[in-house]
Amino acid sequence: MATKKTAPKSEPTADASSHATIPGVNDLLGLLGGANPLMAIGRMVETVMQVTGDIVQSIGTFNDTLSELNKVAHRVNALLDEIEGPVAEIVPLVQASAKQAKSTLKKVDGVINQIGTLPADVSQAVSTLGDLAGRLGPLAQFAEVAGGMFGTKSSTS
């Protein structure tokens, strides 16, 4: 039996030069000025994947921020729940105190106004007493004369 030997066939390689075996590809790439559109597409896919990763990371950070804000809101609500009762009890007392303070202030203003007119009133009273003393002078002289007539001495000497 004779074995038939055949020449080994060369298999096309899978590297970047594989397009050389396809007729016209080299010519097309030559027209493009050496720019490989497959490489550009690969870079574009990498860029899209990187941007997508950045967006996913940003969304994760945003979710974390919202989670923290939610925790803060729960704490504020709990604090408000704690102080709502005491505040509800204090507010009427504060309002009553403010009303009482206004009333007291009005009374104090009235007293201050009266005290403010006091020096004028005292001056008028002193003036009236001085005027009265001057008018009573003749009556005092008449009383002395009458006392002398009846034999009584006046107490003023």
Per residue in 107-153, pLDDT tens? 888 877 777 777 777 788 888 887 877 777 777 777 777 776 666 66
Contact 144/154 with Cβ under 8 angstroms?
yes
Contact 8/1 with Cβ under 8 angstroms?
no
The residues near 18 (Cβ < 8 Å, ≥ 6 apart) are 12
Residue among 115, 95, 92 at smallest CA distance from 103: 95
pTM, entire model: 0.37
pLDDT band of 12, cuts 50, 70, 90: very low
Give the single-character DSSP code of 24: T
Q: What are phi and psi of 34, to 5 degrees?
A: 85, -5
Q: What are the sequence ranges of the domains in the chain?
A: 29-148
